Amino acid sequence: MDIIVCVKQSYDVQQIKFDPKTGEPMLAGAPRKMSDMDRRALEEALRIREKVGGVVKTVSIGTPDSRDVVKEIYAMGADEAYILTDLKLEKADPDVTARLLSEMIKKIGNYDLILSGAASTDGYSWQVPAKVAAHLNLPFLPNAISINVNDAVMVDCDLGDAIYDYKAPLPCMVSVSLEINEPRIPTLSAILKASRKPFTEFHIKDFEVDLSPELEVISTAMPKVARKNFIVDASDASKLDEVRKIVDELRKENVI
């Protein structure tokens, strides 16, 4: 079984700071990590390989600072990693991403199954897997919470209203959700071995892909939380009544 997994190096969303004035995320130099659902897609691929044998390859694209993801991919146990990085990809939207990924997959060739996370930890658009499947003209099974493979693929898909059992012929594309598995934590010796394993780099010029995004991002900002910001100067004894009022108010709302 030849499996290709799409793996994104996301921003580590929990570590991102927001500019308190503008509400915009401060992304320059923000820490990165492998996208949570992609990590589970890779884990699932490794488990399938352990069961039925085969080869696990990964494809990744991103800006040059996302290259470290390869080390993690190898540390988890993938056989071959393919990556394309370019500064031009900073503004890549789901469409550009899917076009490039599918071209890379075509170039690698030979696959029975393509896996990816259903959405990335940072962009969270849920668009890319379906678009990749469309470009490659493959059947697409979204949001898998379990996958069984023999000569076809049987998948439990969580589509929100119910769990659907789907079956598709190979080759096909499956996107996985967070519930599908608990990914392994690489051992130190696996990390050490991974750190020197060579990987294949593609370049934008290898492909004839239109890099102009179809999406225009108008703004990215954190939600505003309105606070009452009511301050009483307690040094002034005449204001004590106001303090009592606030205490009563808070009691009424069961806050204290």
Partner 1 sequence: MEMEEKFDAIIVGAGASGLGAAYSLAKSGFNVVVLERGQRIGAKNVYGGRIYSHVFEKEIPGFKEDAPVERWVTGERLTFLDDSSAATLELSSDFSSENSFITTLSKFNEWLGKKVEETGGLVISGIKVDDLIIEGSTVKGIVAGEERLFADVVIDAEGVNPILAKKAGLRGDWNPHEVAVGVKEVIKLPESVIEDRFNLNHGEGAANLFLGYASRYGFGGGFLYTAKDTISIGVVVRVDSAIANRISVYDIVEDFRLHPYISKLIKDGSPIEYSAHLVPEAGIHGVPKLYGNGILLTGDAAGFVLNRGFTVRGVDFAFLSGVIAAETIRKAHEEGDFSASTLSHYEQRLKESVVFRELENFRKVPNLLSNLRFFETYPKLLCEILKDAYTVGEDSKKIYPLLKNKMRDRVSMITLIRDIISVVRNL
What sign does the dihedral 230-236-239-245 (CA atoms) show?
A: positive
Closest CA to 168 of 150, 181, 189, 180: 150
Under the binding rule (CB under 8 A), the answer on residue 226 touching partner 1 is: no
How far is it, in rounded angstroms, from Cα 125 to Cα 116? 13
How far is it, in rounded angstroms, from Cα 85 to Cα 203? 7
Under the binding rule (CB under 8 A), the answer on residue 16 touching partner 1 is: no
Q: Residue 47 or residue 193: which is nearer to partner 1 going by CB?
A: 193
Q: How far is the CB of 32 from partner 1 (least distance, A)?
A: 9
Closest CA to 8 of 140, 137, 160, 119: 119
Residue span binding partner 1 (CB under 8 A) among the ranges 13-21, 55-63, 144-152, 173-181: 13-21
Q: Which residues ranging from 170 to 209 are in contact with partner 1 (CB under 8 A)?
A: 187-189, 191-192, 195
In the block, residue with structure tokens 């979204």 = 142
Q: How far is the CB of 72 from partner 1 (least distance, A)?
A: 10
Burial annotation 78-92 (CB, 10 A radius, 16+ → b, else e): bbbbbbbbbeebeeb
Q: How far is the CB of 73 from partner 1 (least distance, A)?
A: 15
Q: Residue 36 or residue 156: which is nearer to partner 1 going by CB?
A: 36
Question: Kind and range of the H or E element at 157?
Answer: strand 152-158
Q: How far is the CB of 24 from partner 1 (least distance, A)?
A: 12
CB of 6 closer than 8 Å to CB of 38: yes
Under the binding rule (CB under 8 A), the answer on residue 109 touching partner 1 is: no
The residue within the footprint of partner 1, chosen from 21, 205, 227, 252 (CB under 8 A), is: 21
Residue span binding partner 1 (CB under 8 A) among the ranges 2-10, 18-26, 43-51, 97-105: 18-26
Q: Which residues ranging from 65 to 84 are in contact with partner 1 (CB under 8 A)?
A: none
Amino acid sitting at position 179:
E
Non-local CB neighbours of 151 within 8 Å, separated by 6+ positions: 170
Under the binding rule (CB under 8 A), the answer on residue 232 touching partner 1 is: no
Under the binding rule (CB under 8 A), the answer on residue 248 touching partner 1 is: no
In the block, residue with structure tokens 């012929």 = 169
CA angle 132, 135, 141 (to 5 degrees): 50
Amino acid sitting at position 162:
A
Q: Residue 94 or residue 186: which is nearer to partner 1 going by CB?
A: 186
Q: How far is the CB of 221 from partner 1 (least distance, A)?
A: 14
The residue within the footprint of partner 1, chosen from 27, 31, 52, 90 (CB under 8 A), is: 31
Binding site residues, partner 1, CB under 8 A: 17, 19-21, 26, 29, 31, 33, 187-189, 191-192, 195
